[in-house]
Each structure stands twice: as structure tokens, then as C-alpha cells.
Amino acid sequence: MAGLGKVYLVGAGPGAADLITVRGARLLAQAEVVLYDALVTPEMLALCGQAELISVGKRSGQRSVAQDLINQQLVDCAHKYALVVRLKGGDPMLFGRADEELRALEAAGIEVEIVPGITTAVAAAAATRQPLTKRGVARSVSFFTSSTAPEHSIEEVALPHTDTLIQYMGGREAIATAARLLAQGRRRDMPVVVIENCSRPDQRVLRLDLGRLAHGLEAAHGPVLVMIGEALRMREHQPPDTTL
């Protein structure tokens, strides 16, 4: 449709500004307007100082309404600007609600392009030097989230049956996951790695086991990823975790 701008769904990566892709950084430097998530850091926004910045972080309890608003804002921006960036934490196509935004933009006849980003699970594996797969130990990995559709509770969603499990937005919900895994017969000493604020200066890493996880986690002050599986057992000469 003539006169409409193009929208780029860009993955910001896990947090650190230098972990965005070169292509993503170039588009930020060219963008006229950037609609960004709540978890995008000020350092990342410094890469698009020329653009109008619109915060579209969703508030708890208003997910569907907030997403509808974001969809409409993207359509409206494409009518006003030639180059629109929707900046999402991690990768746009993994737990990024890209489907809703793609549907809205496609229905409005607006051109869209996806620019992938480093998803937090991969960044967490790198930060902790802990491969998610291991020959002879783990050949399958599942990414899942605590967030569900409003009509379903987390207890109604089946847990994946893979060697390594990665729970996005884990936090307190990971406690329930641990209890369910133990009830399914998983070993209590199965290694667990919890990482908060992955790739950021205030990154924290906690190592424990499934039995301890089932008894609770201390409150977190940033996004939490929980990694569970035998592949996460520390190597004999592995150095201790450090803050980046």
C-alpha cells in the first residue's frame, strides 16, 4: 500500500547492548521511531538517540488490552514513519508475542521484516559456560514459559519431556515446576541453574538441585531464567561463576 512505512521486529538480545546483532544495531541507528519493551536497557536505547522512543512495556493484569494497544500503535506508526522498529527483548519469535503483531500489521497491508536476536537461554548457557546439550547425556532441549493464556492455569499445561528444560520468566513459578518434575520421578539431585539479569552488570547465578528448588527461591529483582537438567552439572575443573 502506497505511503506506508516498513516495520522491523528486532531482537534486542538478553540485555547487554553489545549482544544485539550488527543488523539490529544498524536499524536502530536508522529508525525514525522505536517501540520498545520494558526490559530494554538504557544502553540499548542509546543506539537510537535520533528516534522517537515509545515505551510499550505491558503491565500485569492487562495483557490482552496492552497487546491490542501495541498492535494499533505499530499500525499508526507505519502510517507516519518510513522506518519503524519494534524492539523486543531476546528474539522476537520466541515468547515475544510476534504472532499478534504480525497479524495486525499484515491485516493492515504493512510490510514487516524480522531481525532475530540472541534468546536468553543461549546467552545464559554462554554466561555460565554450561552447554544445554552434551554428548551421551542430553540430546534434547525444551524452552517453555510460565505465562499462559488467561483461560488456562500453569498447572494445566503439560511439562515437556526432554533432557534439558529451560523455563523463561521462571522465578516463583519454577518452584511449582520443580515439584511437578519430582512427582514425575525426576531425580532430586538433578542440577539446576538460575540466572537473573542475564548478560547485565547485575547478573546473578544460583546453582542448586531440583530438590532444593522445590522448597523455594529468594525474590528476584529482574528477569529470571531457570535451566534444569543433567547437562548443567558442573565440570570437574570448571571455574566458579562470575558477574559480567
Q: DSSP 3-state assignment of 237?
A: coil
Q: Would you call 58 a catalytic residue per the annotation?
A: yes
For the chain, the residue count is: 244
- Pairwise CA distance, residues 167 & 221, whole Å: 17
Choosing from 37, 88, 91, 241, the catalytic residue is 37
Q: For residues 88 and 7, is the Cβ–Cβ distance under 8 A?
A: no
Q: Would you call 37 a catalytic residue per the annotation?
A: yes
What the block records as the C-alpha cell of 203 is: 547478573
Q: For residues 244 and 16, is the Cβ–Cβ distance under 8 A?
A: yes
Tell the burial category of 38 from Cβ atoms under 10 Å away from its Cβ (0-12, 13-18, 19+): exposed
Q: Output phi, psi for 80, to 5 deg.
A: -110, -25
What the block records as the C-alpha cell of 109 is: 497491508
- Pairwise CA distance, residues 172 & 109, whole Å: 41
Choosing from 58, 134, 163, 209, the catalytic residue is 58
The C-alpha angle 60, 117, 166, rounded to 5 degrees, equals: 60
Q: Catalytic site residues?
A: 37, 58
